[in-house]
Structure 1
């Protein structure tokens, strides 16, 4: 089973909220399932965004799900959809790179950012999701702050992020799962294509 198929299987099993079918249909109309997760850092490859989304879901469920306190639908929504803002965000191109072995210049594919709707990161994901389905406050907060201190608006010390993590444990769980997935589990997926 590929990442797209795994994403859809989890999504269809766990997310039953009104508007879920329409959101999935919209995702299929974008490049969400073929886009990279980044330009050069993690999962910077075809299908990297869906790979990353599934990986974050796996980490959240394996390490942070407490059946007595947590909700499976909320975990699926937060993990699978936290980076919806990256759909229609990357542009594939080519650039010349010197081959170190031969000394010849070769065209290599790469991704650049072309953000047609520059609304921020987490808040953009919340906005796009809520066009189709209503998020619980805890889910919206978790998705909004999943980048933690890496979010531009958190730089300089924000009380909002501290309050979010204190009040909504799912926000901490999503942030930790995103970090582990990005920096520990997705190593070796940073090239647009590997030889």
Structure 2
């Protein structure tokens, strides 16, 4: 039997007025209309942008949920912007690769994973290096680690976001350790790389970023500490105090009890990890806002800075972006803020 040929996807950025379209997109802001005009309005989006969608004939008894749909129709313009007039909306074919539509980390996942493996291999503590080796041998866990987002909305909310954020926090933490040699560098490295490991179970890795049932019930701090503890239990010679210090790093990295910590930071390394985590998330928001200022001297309000605006400069030139491995470079396609805030899913 001949294999069904996969239809190439058309992205929002490629929609051209005056042409037809037959492709899969994500829909959101779906609004039926019982009055005059189109009977359904929505926004279509993918990793390249978004556009308006209208349907002139629609059965109001048919309810649509946000998600992926096959859109067949014509491309036009309305009020100077691209608009798709759909003749058909239906489920996407099974062979459609919807992952191609989703935003992803700007750096290739393979390159980031190679960086993580190098950091793990360079750990000078034999017990912690044995722990890294055990975790990296878990193929299913590593696949989730590579694909998971770091949050639903607030920061690194895209494929590979968790891995990108883990590396960003590690780089910040190690830079601080270079300045303060009294810190346990290997312990800090382990805490930085593993602090959000619970997000591999708290967030979906298929489709748009969302929480799993376990994530909604338990968050990610306790599951992350429990997950690492289970690996440590498989290492009979792992020092008990080192175990407790590492689990404390994971359990305290949100800093305050109101943000879901198991305990507030009570070691020097835990204090550093909390602020390194905050720095990576907040700076990604600040630089993303600067890049999106569109020639203005001030950015839009930045949520993680209590909605303060950031000064870009009178020359209307955004500051150069640092290493993209630690920053959000994409606009937020999820109608929520990319900007990190100190709450349990940050």
Give the TM-score band, short-chain normalised: 0.7 to 0.9
What are the Cα deviations for residues 24-75 of structure 1, in whole angstroms up to 9, with x where unaligned? 122x313111111111221111111010000000000112445641222201
Give, in whole Å, the separation in 1 of the partners of 2:270 and 2:331.
26
Whether the 8 Å CA contact 1:42–1:189 is kept in 2: the answer is no
> Which structure has more helix as a fraction of its residues?
1
3-state SS of 2:209 partner: strand
- Please point out which of 245, 260, 263 is paired with 1:138: 245
What is the root-mean-square deviation of aligned Cα atoms in Å? 2.7
**Larger mean Cα displacement after TM superposition, 56-65 or 79-88:** 56-65
Q: 1:29 aligns to what? A: 140
Q: 1:83 aligns to what? A: 196
Task: Tell me how far 1:136 sits from its aligned partner.
Answer: 3.0
Give the TM-score normalised by structure 2.
Answer: 0.44
Task: Tell me how far 1:89 sits from its aligned partner.
Answer: 2.6
Give, in whole Å, the separation in 2 of the partners of 1:44 and 1:146.
19
Which structure has more RCO (C-alpha within 8 Å, separation ≥ 6)? 1
- Please point out which of 137, 149, 161 is paired with 1:48: 161
Matched, 1:111 2:205: no
CA distance 1:122–1:66, change in 2 (3 Å): farther
Runs of 4+ in 1 over 6 A off after TM superposition: none
Matched, 1:16 2:100: no
Unaligned runs of 5+ residues in structure 1 are: 94-109
3-state SS of 1:136 partner: helix
- Please point out which of 268, 276, 282 is paired with 1:183: 282
Unaligned runs of 5+ residues in structure 2 are: 1-109, 233-237, 285-326, 335-346
Whether the 8 Å CA contact 1:43–1:189 is kept in 2: the answer is no
> Which structure has more strand as a fraction of its residues?
2
Give, in whole Å, the separation in 2 of the partners of 1:68 and 1:77.
16
Task: Tell me how far 1:141 sits from its aligned partner.
Answer: 1.4
Give, in whole Å, the separation in 1 of the partners of 2:176 and 2:276.
8
- Residues 163-182 of structure 1 mapped to structure 2, 5 A cutoff: 165=265, 167-182=266-281
Matched, 1:147 2:254: yes
Q: Which has the larger radius of gyration?
A: 2
Give the TM-score normalised by structure 1.
Answer: 0.74
